[in-house]
Chains A and B, each alone.
Chain A
């Protein structure tokens, strides 16, 4: 197996075009999936390590919005000064595994690993994130919802690198939060999680984006719930407004060792309601 750790994106793309290579970043999933002493990625002869490429380690505010390099680590996102719309993403970042995992794991790796329980996905969905995929022949931008195709399945082609996560200006408004529910406090794969971003006008919900993870093959955007909550005030009774059945239109949870499907539906609803309530009462939701 050849291993290549370039410092320039152009070098990486050129090498990837010529070699059947897998991509390594923080290695928190790659190493966890093998007992080997060495990095191995199934079916690939070679491995491209993108963690030395400076271009992929930047968080930039551009005219169009915020771009986050795919090799940015979770702890760097937590520390970076970002608008309140990113608070949910930061909260998710600080609940990824443990401090050690946050110091190694990258945001791009979390997306490419495509776990239904990926902590980063729900807040990024509420931020209307897209991903930029680059190859020697150019790049393309896909909405996150199109990039993630199923458990462990993405739209990434063999010769492509996920280089950047793009958050449009239109989504960098309001406040956001994230809640994760698991059977223990740290180092836990969630049973359910919810991310909410909203903005208020005259104390009424003007815009709202809601996403739930671990309750479907890919974290889901809950447009139906959003439609119900739009225009609501904090005095509305969310429990009576949001019926359990409404969630079932967007979620398809399964029974597994962590919880049963029925519970996940209940938990998702409650996490959404609590997150919304918290944002409306405690947050600076302008």
Chain B
């Protein structure tokens, strides 16, 4: 019998990955913490500490278990296998791969089953437990077996495919030959780290002797506060090195992603405006600070009147969120063309409705995390992010430093979807490091991440659309209020994007769309895949179904009649080229016929379960709206003949680390395997802007194309060869050949530049757009992408439950640089669209965890058929268009239209939880 005591740390013996280790840990410490922090096996991830996400799954005696829920003493005498145990280390003296991957890992790579990679270790371990029992698995067995691991990126389909295919020969896909790289389904170039658990996410880099930073946050929606005796509290609490408040901020304690609307303090001063807002930092010894009861922190709160909903904020006696914004209106946006009001008086058919959506949480599996330290007089921050240069510049302003004195190294980012564009812990880490002079780490808890970071804007919208006797749209009016929360964040972008896009990709000659961003005391609403456009598309696409039915025109046909085509003017008066929405709708025709017929046949003999089919479209402008957003790519060749691409676009799982070199390889005319990737790192890579607005493949891709072409030109000039020549990089020289001759350029004698390159180019691309006039007329984007989905669903008309069985998604990507990654974006976007439609509802203070806030599990996903349409864009690199945000837009309206098709129920509030669906079914009867 042993009685463990916390004061007397005990030797616990563990068997991990086949080896015996002894640790000195409290027996009730979470196994996940012991693995990560004591054994430094950080391939095991912590996403929630509650068993909700499964990222920490390990094998205990062959069984998949959440290591965050196991006190380490329970694992004594068991055999523990972590992701690090899946691949074999090389035997000394053997050549070849640095590690030998398991068949499962190879299959995951081959099928693009890892995007951001944060859930991958958990998925691998859960799959291992399954495969150990049975190597021939069905899809439903796989779903049961992986039920406990959440993925927010992939939509799960490729994970299932990878497990089904694990038995097939394990060869990696060969890299394509020179010149055939664009269009090839190559494995992601940064995939190895993701499937071996070696990738370093925000919580995985630990500078020696780091202190831990924790934030004190407001428990109230709006409150004034006063600190007690901080010095006394600090002195009485052993292990605390510093308490940081706004008084320690030397720069401007005000940030925002759009400088003109910066309004958010890094640490609040006297008053907080939302639940979860930080007021102070506690910095000290990791073991002590992590276990501090922050309820003891000396602060007194005085709650104030507040407003959370749009109605509350717009009511006559609403409390003001910010004194200088009257009636809580942050900003208004509009696009007007023709005379929609007058035109609607003349139409043959008219349809109108109101629709309401809720806060949606990004729910990436990696809560914000990072570390920071001083390198000389430069503050280095290594944290998860989508926007390293914005992080650097905003953090420098807050800290009162020159931008050059801050270096941001993006860690691997375990999902972002828009929320990691905004600052979160970067300035907090900076404050802690500057105050203590020591390296610091900060890791948000799941609750802290959900309470304090940005959300999708809830929208309260109304719209009216009319068409003529032929079904041609004549006019549309749209108005929407978007709940922007306590601080501006991307509210102005939403009010800009929504009216530009609310027509959908349809010719709408008379149009009036007005949008307001409304301040409330909710968490800031920011960017979330689509910047408000997915909300607006719902109401437009539902009304299109109304009009089609009223006009007695097939619903797909109705959309084909109205689809924008080259030569048409958009609601902004722009005439884009290479419009592919018609092609997308045409590509869905066959499925539409089959699906609608089979649903009707099924429904004729099924009284309770009814099938329904819905269709909806999207369009989405790539890049910033009507303002510059350049990207710069640097290529350099070293004297030993190595080729480096400085790629500053952050790959948050979407694949820019692979797609950008693919484009560059074909532009330059070398094999992709020759590229060595540098970055992203603000000290090493030129600015590629933010990973946002579906802009990286288009904008950074175009910069990569230009850089590849420029380097090619320079090399051909050096060798005096014509454009048909081939370039090969060899040891210390370049060899340029054509059909007649070969020319060699020696590299060792060339003078290296300041970056150490003997040959180098740097090219910048900024999309040609114009500012919009007071009616929103102009050229907001240089490139648009298009798409359309068919949703096939089953409604249980007695219980109001839904099953989405199939989604067929046609997307015009211009040129599919990497079809494998395109499919990954489509499947993942559909998962998020499905979640927003059926289950996701963030309620401040109530759903700040992943068991009350639901995102789709592997069992909630439909079969997905992706159709890649390639209508060349004259501006995009190799004809390519953006895709990342587009994919989510049609899903919700396609599902809602399918519900109505199945049972007549008209949903007007998201999410369509069973009780809401049932109510709508009963109202329809």
Residues of chain A whose beta carbon lies under 8 Å from any beta carbon of chain B: 1-6, 11, 15, 24, 26-28, 31-32, 35-39, 47, 49, 51, 75, 94, 97-101, 103-104, 181, 183-189, 191, 257-260, 262-263, 266-267, 270
Q: Interface size of B by Cβ–Cβ distance < 8 Å?
A: 66
**Residue from the set A24, A26, A98 with the largest chain B CB neighbour count within 10 Å:** A98
Complex contact A38–B445 (CB within 8 A): no
Complex contact A259–B913 (CB within 8 A): yes
**Min CB gap A228→B, angstroms:** 19
**Residue from the set B150, B847, B857, B915 with the largest chain A CB neighbour count within 10 Å:** B915
- Which chain B residue has the least Cβ–Cβ distance from A95? B147
Complex contact A98–B54 (CB within 8 A): yes
- Pairs A–B under 8 Å by Cβ, sample size 12: A4-B4, A11-B1, A26-B69, A27-B69, A28-B66, A28-B69, A35-B445, A94-B144, A100-B69, A183-B854, A189-B851, A263-B919
Complex contact A98–B839 (CB within 8 A): no
- Which chain A residue has the least Cβ–Cβ distance from B33? A37
- Which chain B residue has the least Cβ–Cβ distance from A239? B798
Which one, A28, A31, A188, A267, contacts B854 given CB within 8 A?
Answer: A188
Which one, B147, B149, B445, B852, contacts A185 given CB within 8 A?
Answer: B147
A189: chain B residues within 8 A (beta carbon): 851-852
Which one, B73, B148, B839, contacts A97 given CB within 8 A?
Answer: B148
Complex contact B799–A270 (CB within 8 A): yes
B632: chain A residues within 8 A (beta carbon): none
A259 to B914, CA, bound (A): 7
Stretch touching chain A among B57-65, B692-700, B876-884: B57-65
Complex contact A75–B63 (CB within 8 A): yes
Q: Is B523 an interface residue (CB 8 A)?
A: no
Q: Is B860 an interface residue (CB 8 A)?
A: yes
- Which chain B residue has the least Cβ–Cβ distance from A258? B913
Which one, B66, B445, B799, B859, contacts A184 given CB within 8 A?
Answer: B859
Q: Is B361 an interface residue (CB 8 A)?
A: no
Complex contact A185–B4 (CB within 8 A): no
A32 to B856, CA, bound (A): 20
Which one, B6, B66, B915, contacts A259 given CB within 8 A?
Answer: B915
Q: Is B858 an interface residue (CB 8 A)?
A: yes
Given A99-B144, A257-B841, A263-B915, A181:B71 Cβ within 8 A: no
Restricting to B882-925, which residues have a CB under 8 Å from any CB of A? Answer: 911, 913-915, 918-919
Complex contact A184–B854 (CB within 8 A): yes
Complex contact A32–B51 (CB within 8 A): yes
Q: Is B556 an interface residue (CB 8 A)?
A: no
**Min CB gap B512→A, angstroms:** 37
Which one, B27, B52, B291, contacts A36 given CB within 8 A?
Answer: B291
- Which chain B residue has the least Cβ–Cβ distance from A183? B839
A94 to B859, CA, bound (A): 14
B858: chain A residues within 8 A (beta carbon): 185-186
Restricting to B826-875, which residues have a CB under 8 Å from any CB of A? Answer: 838-839, 841, 843, 846-847, 851-852, 854, 856-860
Residues of chain B whose beta carbon lies under 8 Å from any beta carbon of chain A: 1-6, 26-30, 33, 49-52, 54, 57, 60, 63-66, 68-71, 73-74, 126, 129, 143-145, 147-150, 290-291, 445, 447, 798-801, 838-839, 841, 843, 846-847, 851-852, 854, 856-860, 911, 913-915, 918-919
Which one, A51, A97, A187, A262, contacts B74 given CB within 8 A?
Answer: A51
Given A104-B70, A270-B799, A257:B860 Cβ within 8 A: no
Which one, B5, B65, B148, contacts A187 given CB within 8 A?
Answer: B148
Complex contact B918–A100 (CB within 8 A): no
Complex contact A99–B145 (CB within 8 A): yes
Add 8 more A-B contacts to A5-B2, A99-B148, A184-B856 (CB < 8 A): A3-B3, A5-B27, A35-B447, A99-B129, A103-B64, A185-B857, A257-B852, A266-B918
**Min CB gap A225→B, angstroms:** 17
Complex contact B148–A5 (CB within 8 A): no
Complex contact B66–A100 (CB within 8 A): yes
Which one, B3, B71, B798, B854, contacts A270 given CB within 8 A?
Answer: B798
Which one, B63, B68, B447, contacts A31 given CB within 8 A?
Answer: B68
Complex contact A263–B68 (CB within 8 A): no
Given A4-B3, A184-B857, A98:B148 Cβ within 8 A: yes
A32: chain B residues within 8 A (beta carbon): 49-52, 69, 851
**Residue from the set B60, B74, B839 with the largest chain A CB neighbour count within 10 Å:** B74
Complex contact B291–A5 (CB within 8 A): no
A75: chain B residues within 8 A (beta carbon): 63
Complex contact A181–B801 (CB within 8 A): yes
Given A1-B6, A101-B66, A38:B29 Cβ within 8 A: yes
Complex contact B66–A187 (CB within 8 A): no
**Min CB gap B503→A, angstroms:** 32
4 tightest Cβ-Cβ pairs between the two chains A and B:
A98-B148, A185-B859, A263-B915, A186-B147
A28: chain B residues within 8 A (beta carbon): 51, 66, 69
Complex contact B915–A260 (CB within 8 A): yes
B1: chain A residues within 8 A (beta carbon): 4, 6, 11
A260 to B851, CA, bound (A): 18
- Which chain A residue has the least Cβ–Cβ distance from B27? A3
**Min CB gap B35→A, angstroms:** 12
A188: chain B residues within 8 A (beta carbon): 854
Complex contact A5–B51 (CB within 8 A): no
Complex contact A2–B4 (CB within 8 A): yes
**Min CB gap A1→B, angstroms:** 6
- Which chain A residue has the least Cβ–Cβ distance from B150? A187
Complex contact A2–B3 (CB within 8 A): yes
Which one, A3, A35, A104, A262, contacts B65 given CB within 8 A?
Answer: A104
**Min CB gap B53→A, angstroms:** 9
B54: chain A residues within 8 A (beta carbon): 98, 100
- Which chain A residue has the least Cβ–Cβ distance from B918? A263
**Min CB gap A185→B, angstroms:** 3
A260 to B52, CA, bound (A): 24
A6 to B63, CA, bound (A): 23
**Min CB gap B693→A, angstroms:** 30
B798: chain A residues within 8 A (beta carbon): 270
- Which chain A residue has the least Cβ–Cβ distance from B801? A181
**Min CB gap B303→A, angstroms:** 23
B147: chain A residues within 8 A (beta carbon): 98-99, 185-187
Which one, A39, A103, A262, contacts B71 given CB within 8 A?
Answer: A39
Complex contact B73–A3 (CB within 8 A): yes
Given A31-B30, A38-B26, A267:B914 Cβ within 8 A: yes
**Min CB gap B893→A, angstroms:** 20
Which one, A15, A24, A99, A183, contacts B126 given CB within 8 A?
Answer: A99
A271 to B68, CA, bound (A): 34
B69: chain A residues within 8 A (beta carbon): 26-28, 31-32, 100-101, 104
Complex contact B854–A101 (CB within 8 A): no
**Min CB gap A24→B, angstroms:** 7
Given A4-B4, A31-B49, A100-B64, A39:B28 Cβ within 8 A: yes
Complex contact A3–B914 (CB within 8 A): no
A259 to B445, CA, bound (A): 27
A37: chain B residues within 8 A (beta carbon): 29-30, 33, 290-291
Complex contact B148–A100 (CB within 8 A): yes
